[in-house]
Amino acid sequence: METSDILKLRAATGAGMLDCKKALDEAAGDFEKAAEILRKKGQAKAIKKSAEREAKDGIVHAYVHANGKIGAMVELFSETDFVAKNQVFKDLAHDIAMQVAATDPSYLRPEDIPDEVLEKEKDMYRGEMANESKPADILDKIIEGKMTKYYEEVCLLKQTCIKDEEKTIEDLINERIAQLGEKIEIGKFCRFSI
């Protein structure tokens, strides 16, 4: 591996020389793969670091669809007003508000769903499979899979992003945490429709 490759990767990613060398080694010299490895590691570091901090600043953003019949508001928190005023952060708030308007999620994350709602959902799936002649452990796995799909429908963070189907809203937020270097959290959100 040549030093010029390491310098090129460092210029493209902003990562340290040693990290670039390790990523190129891990990727067997593949520049794109090495950049992806560094991006994932950078996200992991930023997310871990931001989890320990508190997001007390931020913005409230409103989105109204072009037809004027659907709208959404979202609280998006950051650690500082410097990030809250950043266009990347504002665009994130806009994308999240659009997501809420389009998909009408009921909860932010699976942990927010009341136990009685979860049990009712599981009971419905058990009822659907009552006549199935499958072992109990297989039925449990099927129910678990159906619950994952349920979370993707009703939990904002687990939903597929309407602007990029390769990501969830949680992925999108984690990318912005890595990009901006601060903790970012969704507070409350609501949707209006006529």
* pLDDT, position 52: 65
Over range 161-181, report the average pLDDT.
91
Which residues, other chains included, contact 97 with Cβ-Cβ below 8 Å and sequence gap of 6+? 61, 62, 63, 72, 73, 74, 189
Both tokens assigned to 4: 């010029």
- When the pLDDT of each residue in the chain is averaged and rounded to a whole number, the result is 87
Q: Could you tell me where the beta strands, DSSP code E, fall in 65-183?
A: 70-78, 160-161, 164-168
Say if residue 109's pLDDT is above 70: yes
Q: Quickly state the pLDDT bin for 95 (edges 50, 70, 90).
A: very high
Say if residue 63's pLDDT is above 90: yes
Instruction: Name all domains of the chain by residue range, CATH numbers in brackets.
Output: 3-51 (1.10.8.10), 57-107+155-193 (3.30.479.20), 114-154 (no CATH)
Out of 74-78, 154-158, 173-177, 190-194, which region has the weakest mean confidence (pLDDT)? 173-177
* pLDDT, position 44: 54
Q: Contact, 89 vs 81, CB < 8 A?
A: no
**Residue type for 121, please?**
E
